[in-house]
Chains A and B, each alone.
Chain A
Amino acid sequence: MAGKMRKAADFTPAMAQKKRKAADLTKDRSKSNKKPNKLNKTLGGGGGSDDKRKRKTGPRLPAPLRKVLGGTKRSTDSLNDSDENISSDEANDFYEYEEPLPQEESGKNRRFDIVKNFLLDPSDPVEEDENVSSEDDDDKDDYDGVSKIEKSHGWRGSSEQHGDEVEDDERHLRMLQTVSGMPSEAFEGKKKKKKNLVISEAYPESEFNPSRDVLNGNGQISIEELIEPLQGKPGYSEIRKLIHEDKNSTSIQAPLPRVEREMLERKAVYEQSKKDITKWEPLVKMNREAPSLFFDEDTNLGFSTVGAIASGFEPRTEFEKKMAILVNDDKVKEAHNEDGSKLLELNKISAEEYLEDRNHIARMRSLLFRHEMKSKRIKKIKSKTYHRLLKKDRLKSASAEMLMDPEAAKEEARKQEFKRAEERMTLKHKNSSKWAKRILQRGLDAQDEGTRAAINEQLHQHALLTRKMNTMKDSSSSSGSDDSDEDDVDENSAGSDPDAASKLFAKAKEKTLKVLQEDDEVPTSGVLSLPFMVRGLKKRKEEAVEEAKLALQEYESSLKDLEDTGGEENAKVGITSGRMVFGAPKRDVPKPKPSNKMKTDNYYRNSDSEDDLDENIDVGNEMRNDLQKDVNVDSGFLNEDADVHRDSVFKSFDDVVRDPGPKTSYDVAIFASGTWKKMKKGKRVDANIKKSTVVGKPVLQNQEELAEESDTDSEGQMVDGILSAGSKPLYELPSQEELVRLAFAGDNVEDDFEKVKQEILNEEIPEPEKPNLLPGWGQWTSVQRKKGLPSWMLEEHEIAKRKREEALEKRKDAHLKHVIISEKLDKKAEKLHTKTLPYPFTSKEVFEQSIRVPVGPEFNPSTSVGAMNQPDVVKKSGIIIKPIKFEEVNAHEKTEEHKGQKRSGNNQKTNKRKGAGGKRTGVRPLVVKS
């Protein structure tokens, strides 16, 4: 045990040191001083009183010295931290526990008997064995034990023995205690009994009376025996004490088994670390209770300014390095430093130059703007023809440019060539596509015009693209000639002389004739010789011929016109150009008939329907002219309908005055009927039908109506008059009861209420449906009819009925006759209720209170909204949050903090800082607390 103790002593200073290193908290210092004490205390708890006894062992100062030192040392030691002192301190501490032990003193008187008797009993070897095995004492101890037996009444030896005995007992006691969980007092009696069993020897043991062991030869003379004769002499007691102590010091107990020892150690360690960890409790508690935690303070982002970042820049890539070399070049720097201002001076420009520059820029800008506007305007034009022409123009100009510019021409040629090559390679346009194949498969005849045209177009494209270069050249030249022809035509048309026009017409005629004559050849080979192609061509040719013929006729007629009417020609041409125009001439002066007829002729050749339409319109024109006035008046009348009808009446009368005819009657009819809708209808439909026959009737009707109204009124009055007049003479005063009965004759209030209540009850707790059988379902109909409803159905119905009755009984208004208490659940309101009280709330009121005040920005001033909506954890992404650091917290400060927060809800920023100070900021604690 001493060894162990020494170990403990060794380990405490080391521990203290470590501890000091680990936690530099002053608070811990005192703790570390107390630690060994505590440790031993707990050890003592495990080892019992034998530990205490053992603690006396080990090298130590003589008792008197120790006693002297005892008072002073302890006080100094508690303050002293040096390692050596701790061990001695320990010793002192042990003594502190030794001294007050009353057991030794109290047990002394009894020990004589017990030990002596016990020892003399040789028939009890168990005790001896136990002694040896359990104690593992060294030889010396054993020997002592033996020598004690030799002694007759040596109380010293006996005391020793008794010590062992007590030890054993106590261990046993402890064991019992742990096993049974009962207090040690319960086992006290047993021990005493045992002690009483010991038998004393006949005569005292002494040098003259050697014990049996001594006689046997294995006894030895002990110091106690030697100083026995000195008893009664003056210094005897001191000597005895000294010897006693000396002997005690030698009785070292063997260490505990490892398992047990480690367990004790662990226990101690756990207690200690538990205590240490507990220091965090107030801090953690405060954090948990805080409304929100702040982790967004102390944001050290490394760089604060752009300059700081730039200064830390190091060139890495080659480019950057080159740049760095240039920038950091001494010469450049020098030049910059010296000539910086000069360079700027050199940059000076004269006023004229500046003006010129500015003007140039302005011009360019205006040009750009104009161009933009122009393109916008052009883009806005919707005419397709215009755009077509524009496109043509552009193409022409492009081709011209191509001609002018060999580069562009080459480019164009290359493009063309590429296209051609592509076509030759892919044969994209040669009926090889899925679409074309399908069409061919179905037969071209089955297709409609459009499809056929598309196919033709495609083939044409193919032919064009696969034609050889020289042919291409030919075509281009021919097209060129065409172009020139067209140009000629344009020029001709541009000249608006009638002569030129006639010339032009003649030319056109010539050309068409040529076409008509020419188109006789039929290709004999190639694609065009295919039957369908031939057919197609034929058709086309026919069409073309027809067109040409038409054109010819037109030309002829126009030529004739030219000759006939010189002046009117222009206008006429304008008329033929399109349908859109025809309204205008009609609006103008009516045309002479011959021209009109001629027009119709022209139209006849083109298409019938159009002409018909025109004819109709022309025909109708006359009628319209007649009706025009009428229509105008009508519209005006309609507009004013919405106003008071008297106006319209006046108007209609005006009309009547203006031109008496069918119209007047019609207007009157409308007014008289009184419904404006009808009037409209009538206007449309009956315009021609209604005549003066209607005139008289409605007016009459109206009058009749008026008369009727007045009649009814007067009748009512009269009736009243009759009633009052008739009842007065017959009246008798009825009794009060009768009066009441009469007053409430109609309404049966109570019954009504009951009915209403019954209805409400039925609504809230509906009556169960009557069981009904579907004939033939589940059983044959005959069987059903015979057996009636199955029992389970009846039973169910019964149960449902009973339940309903019970529910009715349970209602709050079940026994209140004149009250209805609705227990209907509003499903919509149900959504706004919780089924149970939510967890952290202790009562309904608290919960309702918690959601009473709104938190939104509309309902609270902006100064307090922030505090109300603060999240539980305020953090910023990108900031490392460190683990908690210990700081002292006291409750007083905390409450203050809380108050402060509540009050300073307005100023969020200060609030935050304050809160952070009070609450445990897990972030690096910059907060310095005094």
Chain B
Amino acid sequence: MKVKVISRSADEFTRERSQDLQRVYHNYDPNLRPQEKAVEYVRALNAAKLEKIFARPFIGAMDGHIDAVSCMAKNPNYLKGLFSGSMDGDIRLWDIASRRTVCRYPGHQGAVRGLTVSTDGQVLVSCGVDSTVRLWNVPAATLTNSDDSSDNSVEPLATYVWKNAFWAVDHQWDGDLFATAGGQVDIWNPNRSQPVNSFQWGTDTVISVKFNPGEPNVLATSASDRSIVLYDLRMSSPARKVIMRTRTNAISWNPMEPMNFTAANEDCNCYSYDARKLEEAKCVHMGHESAVMDIDYSPTGREFVTGSYDRTIRIFQYNGGRSREIYHTKRMQRVFCVKFTCDASYVISGSDDTNLRLWKAKASEQLGVLHPRERRKHEYHEAVKNRYKHLPEVKRIVRHRHLPRPIYKAAALRRTMIDAEKRKAERRKAHSAPGSIVTVPVRKRRIIKEVE
């Protein structure tokens, strides 16, 4: 008689520690497991539910300013450093990890409207409505700067007084220039008291300016004449202007796709443009119920965060028409500025209620060190959820967000209005001669013209 015996060596199957997993051999023959799809579907459903359960995005508020937070800047060289400027002229450096003020920069007479930090993280540039540009030294980031030194105040390195009030400032990536926006666009060298270059195209106030991090010599501005203007510093000239129906409050370039930028518009939407084709937006990101005040791309370039006047923060995919996430708290007022941290895992918002708020970029992410098994589990959940996200149940759970009542109502109202407009347009078209009315796609609808 032949006896079949499973032979396994004790060496292979002995665990070194009690925490080690038992070694298991597995037959992966699909015929043995006919229910795999059903199993995975249920897992996807559970993953979606778990994600909802563990969604706790709010980490904490940073309290300290005594007036609305108007602008923020992140230190590109130091993860924990964050600067914020408020309407009363106060500038603070925060330690995000401990959520405390590390140091303050007194000096501005009016509201601080723009903050930016040089790429090496050494110099902070601030500007405000008191028509001054101030340069500050950033204290070196040490391992131990979280001890209580909250009244560290610093004298500015330099103060440049100029002709007009400033609205925004941005520093070149890996360069030494920075640009301010106000009556015109000024390009400054930090060592000179006068701008090295000034651009004026049109007479209206320029309200925001952003350098392209991929192409350091290209910058975009938006002005109160509803225009977005591109500049090229290599030829020291503006390049192209596009005029929209409403004002653009802020611009952010995609750090991973140097040709693309997204504009936060007053009409509740964000418009992603390709700088080479400005006659139509590449994508319209809808969702906010009031003017979008600020926008910032994640360093991964795959998503961006927007802060709005409707007291919410939304996170969009770079190519998504609707927001992936919406954050709000009872106490958060109008959001004036938002930033993604340099490691793409947190979002910071500054709002009218004088607080900065720290959020997780992924609401249900588990913080802290993950065991490899945990990480794998999370990845699997994500993958399975992603796979079945089109099925109605999973979709419903994943998409569902609880909103404050005013926003929910405003959204419903907006929807009805848009629907009504659409219906009207359709009827008009149906009742007029064929071809006489052309439907303009949404991506073009809000653009008036492109000016050379």
Chain B residues positioned under 8 Å from A44 (CB to CB) = none
Are B41 and A832 within 8 A (Cβ)? yes
Are B240 and A15 within 8 A (Cβ)? no
Q: Is A233 an interface residue (CB 8 A)?
A: no
Q: Is B376 an interface residue (CB 8 A)?
A: yes
Chain B residues positioned under 8 Å from A881 (CB to CB) = 299-300, 342-344
Measured in the bound complex, the distance between the Cα atoms of B383 and A877 in whole Å is 20
Are A922 and B239 within 8 A (Cβ)? no
Are A859 and B239 within 8 A (Cβ)? no
- Nearest-CB residue, chain B, relative to A39: B235
- Within the complex, the shortest CB–CB distance from B235 to chain A, in Å, comes to 5
Measured in the bound complex, the distance between the Cα atoms of B241 and A263 in whole Å is 11
Question: Using a CB-CB cutoff of 8 Å, which residues 302-325 of chain A contact chain B?
Answer: 312, 316
Are A295 and B255 within 8 A (Cβ)? no
- Within the complex, the shortest CB–CB distance from B411 to chain A, in Å, comes to 22
Are B299 and A882 within 8 A (Cβ)? yes
Q: Is B195 an interface residue (CB 8 A)?
A: no
Chain B residues positioned under 8 Å from A854 (CB to CB) = 36-37, 39-40
**Which of the listed residues B259, B342, B388 has the most CB atoms from chain A within 10 Å of its own CB?**
B259
Q: Is A870 an interface residue (CB 8 A)?
A: yes
- Within the complex, the shortest CB–CB distance from B152 to chain A, in Å, comes to 15
Question: Using a CB-CB cutoff of 8 Å, which residues 835-886 of chain A contact chain B?
Answer: 835, 838, 847, 850-852, 854-861, 865-866, 868-873, 875-884, 886
Are B218 and A273 within 8 A (Cβ)? yes
- Nearest-CB residue, chain A, relative to B380: A869
Instruction: Please pick, from A18, A287, A831, the residue contacting B392 in the complex, using a CB distance under 8 A.
Output: A831
Are A277 and B258 within 8 A (Cβ)? yes
Indicate whether A884 sits within 8 Å of B257 (C-beta atoms), given known contacts A278-B276, A295-B300, A856-B36. Answer: yes
Are A273 and B230 within 8 A (Cβ)? yes
Q: Is B409 an interface residue (CB 8 A)?
A: no
Are B235 and A269 within 8 A (Cβ)? yes
Are A877 and B376 within 8 A (Cβ)? no
Question: Using a CB-CB cutoff of 8 Å, which residues 896-921 of chain A contact chain B?
Answer: 920
Chain A residues positioned under 8 Å from B215 (CB to CB) = 273, 276-277, 280
Are A878 and B79 within 8 A (Cβ)? yes
Indicate whether A855 sits within 8 Å of B387 (C-beta atoms), given known contacts A277-B259, A920-B256. Answer: yes
- Nearest-CB residue, chain A, relative to B76: A880
Q: Is A376 an interface residue (CB 8 A)?
A: no
Q: Is B301 an interface residue (CB 8 A)?
A: yes
- Nearest-CB residue, chain B, relative to A852: B37
Interface residue stretch chosen among B3-11, B25-33, B122-130, B264-272: B25-33
Instruction: Please pick, from A15, A276, A833, A855, the residue contacting B384 in the complex, using a CB distance under 8 A.
Output: A855
Measured in the bound complex, the distance between the Cα atoms of B435 and A600 in whole Å is 119
Measured in the bound complex, the distance between the Cα atoms of B301 and A293 in whole Å is 10
Measured in the bound complex, the distance between the Cα atoms of B166 and A652 in whole Å is 113
Chain A residues positioned under 8 Å from B388 (CB to CB) = 851
Are A873 and B173 within 8 A (Cβ)? no
Are B345 and A877 within 8 A (Cβ)? yes
- Within the complex, the shortest CB–CB distance from B237 to chain A, in Å, comes to 5
Are A857 and B380 within 8 A (Cβ)? yes
Are B43 and A876 within 8 A (Cβ)? no
Instruction: Please pick, from B39, B275, B391, the residue contacting A856 in the complex, using a CB distance under 8 A.
Output: B39
How many A residues face the partner with a CB closer than 8 A? 66
Are B36 and A859 within 8 A (Cβ)? yes
Chain B residues positioned under 8 Å from A272 (CB to CB) = 232, 234-235
Chain B residues positioned under 8 Å from A886 (CB to CB) = 214
Chain B residues positioned under 8 Å from A865 (CB to CB) = 376, 380
Chain A residues positioned under 8 Å from B173 (CB to CB) = 883
Are A834 and B391 within 8 A (Cβ)? yes
- Within the complex, the shortest CB–CB distance from A850 to chain B, in Å, comes to 7
Chain B residues positioned under 8 Å from A270 (CB to CB) = 230, 232, 239-240, 452
Measured in the bound complex, the distance between the Cα atoms of B199 and A265 in whole Å is 13
Q: Is B382 an interface residue (CB 8 A)?
A: yes
Are A880 and B79 within 8 A (Cβ)? yes
**Which of the listed residues A272, A838, A878, A882 has the most CB atoms from chain B within 10 Å of its own CB?**
A882
Indicate whether A859 sits within 8 Å of B28 (C-beta atoms), given known contacts A880-B343, A884-B257. Answer: yes
Chain B residues positioned under 8 Å from A66 (CB to CB) = none
Are A266 and B214 within 8 A (Cβ)? no
Q: Is A806 an interface residue (CB 8 A)?
A: no
Q: Is B63 an interface residue (CB 8 A)?
A: no
Instruction: Please pick, from A268, A871, A922, the residue contacting B379 in the complex, using a CB distance under 8 A.
Output: A871
Q: Is B393 an interface residue (CB 8 A)?
A: yes
Q: Is A166 an interface residue (CB 8 A)?
A: no
Measured in the bound complex, the distance between the Cα atoms of B382 and A872 in whole Å is 10
Indicate whether A884 sits within 8 Å of B258 (C-beta atoms), given known contacts A270-B240, A831-B392, A834-B392. Answer: yes
Q: Is B56 an interface residue (CB 8 A)?
A: no
Indicate whether A15 sits within 8 Å of B235 (C-beta atoms), given known contacts A869-B383, A884-B214. Answer: yes
Q: Is B107 an interface residue (CB 8 A)?
A: no
Instruction: Please pick, from B218, B234, B299, the residue contacting A883 in the complex, using a CB distance under 8 A.
Output: B299
- Nearest-CB residue, chain B, relative to A839: B390
Are B452 and A267 within 8 A (Cβ)? yes
Are A22 and B234 within 8 A (Cβ)? yes
Are A871 and B79 within 8 A (Cβ)? no
- Nearest-CB residue, chain B, relative to A32: B234
Q: Is B114 an interface residue (CB 8 A)?
A: no
Question: Using a CB-CB cutoff of 8 Å, which residues 237-270 of chain A contact chain B?
Answer: 262-263, 265-270
Chain B residues positioned under 8 Å from A873 (CB to CB) = 300, 302, 344
Q: Is A192 an interface residue (CB 8 A)?
A: no
Are B238 and A269 within 8 A (Cβ)? yes
Q: Is B416 an interface residue (CB 8 A)?
A: no
Measured in the bound complex, the distance between the Cα atoms of B344 and A879 in whole Å is 9
Q: Is B194 an interface residue (CB 8 A)?
A: no
Indicate whether A875 sits within 8 Å of B345 (C-beta atoms), given known contacts A835-B392, A870-B379, A881-B300. Answer: yes
- Within the complex, the shortest CB–CB distance from B174 to chain A, in Å, comes to 9
Measured in the bound complex, the distance between the Cα atoms of B30 and A847 in whole Å is 20
Measured in the bound complex, the distance between the Cα atoms of B39 and A920 in whole Å is 36
Are B343 and A879 within 8 A (Cβ)? yes
Chain B residues positioned under 8 Å from A267 (CB to CB) = 452
- Within the complex, the shortest CB–CB distance from A317 to chain B, in Å, comes to 9
Question: Using a CB-CB cutoff of 8 Å, which residues 361-382 of chain B contact chain A?
Answer: 367, 376, 379-380, 382
Are B235 and A883 within 8 A (Cβ)? no
Question: Using a CB-CB cutoff of 8 Å, which residues 1-60 of chain A contact chain B?
Answer: 11, 15, 18-19, 22
Instruction: Please pick, from A273, A871, A882, the residue contacting B232 in the complex, using a CB distance under 8 A.
Output: A273
Measured in the bound complex, the distance between the Cα atoms of B373 and A305 in whole Å is 26
Chain B residues positioned under 8 Å from A280 (CB to CB) = 214-215, 257-259
- Nearest-CB residue, chain A, relative to B340: A881
Chain A residues positioned under 8 Å from B301 (CB to CB) = 287, 884, 922
Are B234 and A18 within 8 A (Cβ)? yes
Instruction: Please pick, from A18, A870, A877, the residue contacting B343 in the complex, using a CB distance under 8 A.
Output: A877
Indicate whether A15 sits within 8 Å of B234 (C-beta atoms), given known contacts A277-B275, A280-B214, A856-B380. Answer: yes
Are B28 and A869 within 8 A (Cβ)? no
Chain B residues positioned under 8 Å from A866 (CB to CB) = 376, 379
CB-based closest 5 A-B pairs? A881-B299, A883-B213, A883-B255, A270-B239, A838-B390
Please name 24 pairs of A and B residues whose Cβ atoms are closer than 8 Å in the assembled complex, sorted by A.
A19-B234, A269-B238, A270-B452, A272-B234, A272-B235, A273-B235, A277-B218, A277-B259, A278-B276, A281-B259, A284-B258, A295-B344, A834-B390, A838-B390, A854-B40, A856-B39, A859-B33, A865-B380, A869-B379, A869-B380, A871-B383, A877-B367, A878-B343, A922-B255
B residues whose Cβ falls under 8 Å from a Cβ of A: 26, 28, 30, 33, 36-37, 39-41, 43, 76-77, 79, 143-144, 173, 213-218, 230, 232, 234-235, 237-240, 255-259, 275-276, 299-302, 342-345, 367, 376, 379-380, 382-384, 387-388, 390-393, 452
New contact pairs (6) apart from A277-B276, A872-B302, A884-B301, CB-CB < 8 Å: A273-B232, A280-B258, A287-B257, A861-B28, A869-B379, A878-B343
A residues whose Cβ falls under 8 Å from a Cβ of B: 11, 15, 18-19, 22, 262-263, 265-270, 272-274, 276-278, 280-281, 284, 287, 293, 295, 312, 316, 831-835, 838, 847, 850-852, 854-861, 865-866, 868-873, 875-884, 886, 920, 922
